[in-house]
Amino acid sequence: MRFAGIAFGLTVLTATSAGAVENFPSQGVTVVSGKCSKLVVGKLDASKGCKAEIASVTTPDGTVTFIFTSGGKMLGFQGNGKGIKPGSQKGTAQLPIDIISTGAGNKMAGRVEAKGTCTFANPYAGKPIAIECSAKSTEMSFNGNFTSDGKAPRHK
C-alpha cells in the first residue's frame, strides 16, 4: 500500500452514558486544530508531514470517522458511533474501529477491515486533549495521535 499522507475522520454523536463526551463528535464535518504527533501506517511513518488538524465526520447513520492528513493523503479511522463507550479516564470516550479508509485529495477511496479504538475527549473544552487511534488489519497496523489546541471548532 502506497502511503504519502493520512487523513483521519471521526463521526460526531452525543454519548449519553456517565463520563461520556458531550457534543463531540457532532453531526457533519468538524475540523479540530492542534498538533499531530504520530501517523504511522504499517512501516511507513508519515508523522513529519502530518497536518495540524484532523477532521471529525459523522454521517446521518451514526458512523464516525477521524481523518488524519499527511502529504496530500488521508487515513480515516471509522466506527459505529452508537458503540461509543466511556473511556478509562474521566471525560474520555472510546470509539470501536472496524474500518480504515484511505484516500487522496478530498476523496476517500480505499477501505480495509481493521479492529481497534479511538480514545478522545471534547476538544473544544478550552484545554488541549488527546485523540489517539490505533487499529490492526490482517496485513498491518495503523496509528494516529493528535492533541487539540482547545479552540472552538471550524465547521466545513
Q: Does residue 55 form part of some domain?
A: yes
Which contacts qualify for 131-135: CB closer than 8 Å, 24 or more apart? 131/10, 131/32, 131/54, 131/66, 133/8, 133/66, 133/68, 133/77, 133/97, 135/77, 135/97, 135/100
Asked if 47 and 38 count as a contact pair (C-beta separation under 8 A), the reply is yes
Name the phi and psi angles at 98, rounded to 5.
Answer: -130, -10
CA neighbours closer than 13 Å in the CB half-sphere of residue 15: 26
Q: Does residue 136 form part of some domain?
A: yes
Share of the chain above pLDDT 70, in %: 83
Q: Does residue 97 form part of some domain?
A: yes
Domain count, the chain: 1
Q: Does residue 89 form part of some domain?
A: yes
Alpha-carbon distance of 63 to 123, in angstroms, equals 19
pTM: 0.81
Other Cβ atoms less than 10 A from the Cβ of 123: the count is 29
| Tens-place pLDDT, residues 19-59 | 334 567 777 788 999 999 999 999 999 999 999 999 999 99
12-16, 62-66, 99-103: which range is least confident on average?
12-16
Residue 83 DSSP symbol: G
Quote the mean pLDDT of the chain: 82
Residue 19: what pLDDT?
34
Average pLDDT over residues 110-129: 91
Q: Does residue 135 form part of some domain?
A: yes
Q: Does residue 108 form part of some domain?
A: yes
- The whole domain housing 116 covers 28-149
